[in-house]
Structure formats: structure tokens, C-alpha cells
């Protein structure tokens, strides 16, 4: 099983700031990585796939980078709507054995 490790677990930031958080895979996964945003009481929403491609309707202030085992998301100029939990997911394996990170919670400082 490919283990996905996210850091940090919690990030306290102020609106308007820039923030970066990370995801590490236990083995190389190329660019087969997705990021999701989840707000309380809601289903997750796809943010980024292919490590760097924003999903439909995702604002340009979200960007993804990385390949292999190290991946990051950067959010420039944080807005109140961005405070949520973010999960990474690998989808390299075939047959499928998809795994998620444990999440990074973005909270208001």
C-alpha cells in the first residue's frame, strides 16, 4: 500500500496571507496525485488533479506542484472560503488501490 503523509496537520493563517502545505508519498507516483477541499458537513471537492491541473471552476489562487514523492499546494491571498480541510490522494496503482493522506486543516488565526 502506498502511504500518503500530509504536513502539517493544522495550519493557522490569516486571511490575505499565502500558504503552502505538503503531501509525501511512500513511493514514487509520478504525477498521479489529486487534492480535495472539504468544508464541515460537506462532501469533498476536487481541487487539483495530475498534481498541477486545477479542476473546473477552481480559482487561480490555488496551485499545485510536485512529482514523484513530494507534492505541495499553494494558496495565494487566502479568502474566508478557503478555510477547510485539504486531502491528497494518489491514484498511481493499477489495479486501483487508491489511498488518501490524513488531511491538513487550514484554520483562521
Q: Using CB under 8 A as the criterion, which residues of the chain lie in contact with other proteins when the complex forms? A: 1, 32, 34, 36, 42-46, 49, 55, 87, 89, 91-92, 95-103
CB of 36 to other proteins, least distance (A): 7
Nearer to other proteins, 18 or 81 (CB): 81
Distance of CA 104 to the CA centre of its chain: 8
Within a 10 A sphere around the Cβ of 11, how many other Cβ atoms? 16
Return the beta strands (E) in 1-109 as ranges. 4-7, 10-13, 19-25, 33-38, 45-49, 53-54, 62-67, 70-75, 85-90, 99-100, 104-108
CB of 100 to other proteins, least distance (A): 5
CB of 75 to other proteins, least distance (A): 19
Nearer to other proteins, 89 or 106 (CB): 89
Within a 10 A sphere around the Cβ of 2, how many other Cβ atoms? 17
Nearer to other proteins, 43 or 60 (CB): 43
Amino acid at each position: 500500500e502506498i502511504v500518503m503523509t500530509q504536513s502539517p496537520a493544522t495550519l493557522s493563517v490569516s486571511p490575505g496571507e499565502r500558504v503552502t502545505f505538503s503531501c509525501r508519498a511512500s513511493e514514487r507516483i509520478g504525477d498521479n496525485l489529486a487534492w480535495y477541499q472539504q468544508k464541515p458537513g460537506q462532501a469533498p471537492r476536487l481541487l487539483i488533479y495530475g498534481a498541477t491541473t486545477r479542476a473546473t471552476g477552481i480559482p487561480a489562487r490555488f496551485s499545485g506542484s510536485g512529482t514523484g514523492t513530494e507534492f505541495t499546494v499553494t494558496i495565494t491571498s487566502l479568502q474566508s472560503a478557503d478555510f477547510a480541510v485539504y486531502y491528497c490522494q494518489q491514484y498511481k496503482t493499477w489495479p486501483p488501490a487508491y489511498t488518501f493522506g490524513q488531511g491538513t486543516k487550514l484554520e483562521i488565526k
